[in-house]
Amino acid sequence: MGVNPIDIIREYLPFLASGTLFTIGFSLAGIVFGTILGLLVCFGKMLNNKVLSAPFVCYITFFRGTPLFVQILLIHFGVVPAIFGQSNGIISGIVALSLNEAAYIAEVFRAGIQSIDEGQTEAARSLGMNRLQAMRYVVLPQAVHRVLPPMGNEFISLIKDSSLLAAIAAPELTYWAQAMGAQYAITWTPYLAISFIYLILTLTMSFLVNRLERRMATK
Amino acid sequence: MIKKLSVLSLLLTLVLIFTACSSGSGSGSSAKKETSKKVLRVVNDATYPPFESLDKGKMVGFDVDIMKALGKVSGYKYKLVNVGWDPVFAELKSKTADMSISAISITADRAKTYDFSKPYFLSTNKILVSKDSSIKSAADLKGKTVAVQTGTTGQAAVEKIVGKNNPKVKKFKTISLAIMEMQNKGAVAVVADNTVIEQYARNNPGKNLKVVEDKDAFEPEFYGIMYPKDSKLKPVFDKAINKLYSDGTYEKIYKKWFKVAPDLDTLKAQQ
Amino acid sequence: MMIKVENLKKSFGENEVLKKINLEVEKQEVVVVIGPSGSGKSTLLRCINLLETITSGHVFIEGTDIADKTANINKIRQDVGMVFQQFNLFPHMTVLDNIMLAPTKVKKVPKEQAKAKAMELLGKVGLAEKADAYPDSLSGGQKQRIAIARALAMEPKMMLFDEPTSALDPEMVGEVLDVMKQLAKDGMTMVVVTHEMGFAREVGDRVIFMDGGYIVEENEPNQLFAHPNEERTKAFLSKVL
């Protein structure tokens, strides 16, 4: 009955391969930009001045409180065309994932920093370090160690969340699975196939995070 | 406060479970009376006006009216459920749904896995472009970025010209996303069923769109009701479709949605 | 004059914990602050290097008013070493790095020079062999001695001790007090908040008794312990001596 699933997968193999590369690319971009931006947003939110910290609080509230799917559409059909004059799935994908990831990373970092005993900062400041030095040499190194596991979780979520980019025809894994499923009017073959690939990607990610954790623990 | 919240969430959960159960079992009382004919589960993807879409939560469209008329003629009770495009196929394959009427083109690929009714609709793919576009035929689409709805014959028609899975063909889950991509200049044209894009252009005169026809490049297509393989319902509804053609019901519904008379001869010739 | 506290008030919200404190500490003087818990003695100490903001009044360190917004507090703190009840060693660094961090990062002392100084201080507190250990592997007494060495590495002109032995097991109190005694003997200016009356009597040049946010009485140790003037001082001493 129907077409042999193996033949279909064989036919779509090059597309799944390039889709996998795009998924890895989107995820890496989201992780790198999201972490950098997240750290900045985190410091912004922790500013003592309520007026200055308000925009950062709003940022986190919006990106954590609304569906990523909607954010992707808003950025693709609203923000990116307004800036570049035309929509572009790849730019939109990177921007949407980075902005969304940053909100989560900011909260992870904030929790990590606040979990470090106040006495650590006081000891650093009493030795003459300024706020920045105390943060950089004393608080952050300890916080990074502590936030590594929750960061790993965020990264894994991000890999899976990148599948939502199929909606704006960004040519990642899920996009090709949809194309494949639609062409042959099948469901299981494409989605199980990409699930397997996502599983490999997320397993690789947790392996890397685990290794990093262990290396930091022994250090 | 927390106590109140937990009571509320418990209530919400119960409501959800209740609605899930009740929609699953259909309207219980009528099912008991009609022991000989069960309530059919008819699935669709209600994101495709004017065939099927949600109007303030109510499902409306050409297919919806056709199904109503078919139900009346055949005597079957049915429940029309919006499940989305991919699940339509999944449900029919696993036989959790009895049939689907969802502007589905009859293709040889699909016919390998599913059964189709006699055609009940004639459609041609057309090209939607902005008014100042230089595109005059399907051949002009070569080398251009074109937006389509994933898995539609529109996609197939474009890929026939520019090559299968050409990266310049952007595939979207819904036709409205594809049109939005074009309006944001992420694509220069949308290729889809004439009825859909003609209605869109008609309903959005402010957006400066025009519809380009290319009869030589895009072959006519026929929509059919789709069933699981070897469905016993096929002969019943085939007969009902012919009844709608002969008693004028079909023409009435067609005119209601498309403002013109149907090409009944071509449709019948296809049987 | 090393430290001068003038009409210092400190409130946490509605709660006023320091009520008009006046205090002067001379160069090389060892001032011991005693009093029941909640009397404000730790808060006073923390106000002296601005770990707590000052509600009103002034604190002068070598003549500079640290409550003044234009004062460079980071620079002033380099001269005011502080030792905490909970040690507050940096757990992610070795003992040596704990001691070298501030001199190299704040004072930009060359690494080799900072290391030599750190080893010298470790020898002074009797823990030279722990240079490469991490804080978690040390006993409480060892941790506090490292914390003292860490503060001394900045070559401060005065040292503040905030109940340095309160978190220690009794058998470790002595080793920390010995280091502090030696420091006093070397001429360090010190303000010590403690419950160790023996230390106050032996090392203190002056003892200050605080209660309810006020300095109730101050005197040289023998006078204060033998002949307290105030009823509240008598009541407190009768409980702790």
pLDDT tens digits for range B7-38: 777 777 776 666 665 554 444 344 444 445 68
| The predicted structure's pLDDT at residue B12 | 72
Query: How many beta-carbon pairs under 8 angstroms link A with C?
Result: 60
CATH of the domain at C160: 3.40.50.300
- Could you tell me which residue, C67 or B99, shows the higher pLDDT? B99
Letter string b/e over residues A123-137, b meaning 16 or more CB atoms within 10 A of that residue's CB: bbbbbbbbeebbbeb
Sequential pLDDT tens for chain A (219 residues): 456 888 888 889 999 999 999 999 999 999 999 999 999 999 999 998 999 999 999 999 999 999 999 999 999 999 999 999 888 999 999 999 999 999 999 999 999 999 999 999 999 999 999 999 999 999 999 999 899 999 999 999 999 999 999 999 999 999 999 888 877 777 788 999 999 999 999 999 999 999 998 888 765
Domain coordinates in residue numbering, chain B: 39-122+222-263, 125-212
pLDDT tens digits for range B201-260: 888 888 889 999 888 888 888 999 999 999 999 999 999 999 999 999 999 999 999 887
Cβ contact B185–A87 (<8 Å): yes
Q: What share of chain B is helix, strand, coil (3-state, %, to 5)?
A: 45, 20, 35
Which positions in chain B have a beta carbon within 8 angstroms of at least one beta carbon in chain A? 85-87, 89-90, 93, 109-110, 112-114, 147, 150-152, 155-156, 165, 167, 170-173, 177, 180-181, 184-186, 229
Q: Do chains C and B touch (3 or more CB pairs under 8 A)?
A: no
Cβ contact A167–B172 (<8 Å): yes
In chain A, which residues have their Cβ closer than 8 Å to the Cβ of C90? 120, 123-124, 138, 142
Instruction: Identify the weakest region by mean pLDDT among A134-138, B23-27, C190-194, C227-231.
Output: B23-27
What's the number of domains chain C is made of?
Answer: 1
State whether CATH 1.10.1060.10 applies to domain A5-216. no
3-state secondary structure of B123: strand
In chain B, which residues have their Cβ closer than 8 Å to the Cβ of A81? 184-186
Determine the structural domain holding residue C207 and report its residue range. Answer: 3-238
A121 at the C interface (CB within 8 A)?
Answer: no
- Could you tell me which residue, A184 or B134, shows the higher pLDDT? B134
In chain C, which residues have their Cβ closer than 8 Å to the Cβ of A141? 92
| The predicted structure's pLDDT at residue B20 | 61
Q: Is the ipTM of this complex over 0.85?
A: yes
The structure tokens listed for B134 are 């230089």
Place of tokens 């008014």: B131
Residue A18 to chain B, least CA–CA distance (Å): 11
Instruction: Kindly list the partner chains of chain C, i.e. chains with 3 or more CB atom pairs below 8 Å.
Output: A
3-state secondary structure of C191: strand
| The predicted structure's pLDDT at residue A93 | 96
- Could you tell me which residue, C200 or B22, shows the higher pLDDT? C200
Cβ contact A81–B165 (<8 Å): no
Q: Report the alpha-carbon distance of residue C196 to residue A25 in Å, rounded.
A: 63
A87 contact partners, CB below 8 Å, separation of at least 6: A76, A77, A80, A81, A168, B181, B184, B185, B186
State whether CATH 1.10.1060.10 applies to domain B125-212. no
Cβ contact A183–B151 (<8 Å): yes
Q: Which CATH topology does B39-122+222-263 take? A: D-Maltodextrin-Binding Protein; domain 2 (3.40.190)
Which chain C residue has its CA at the smallest distance from A143's CA?
C92
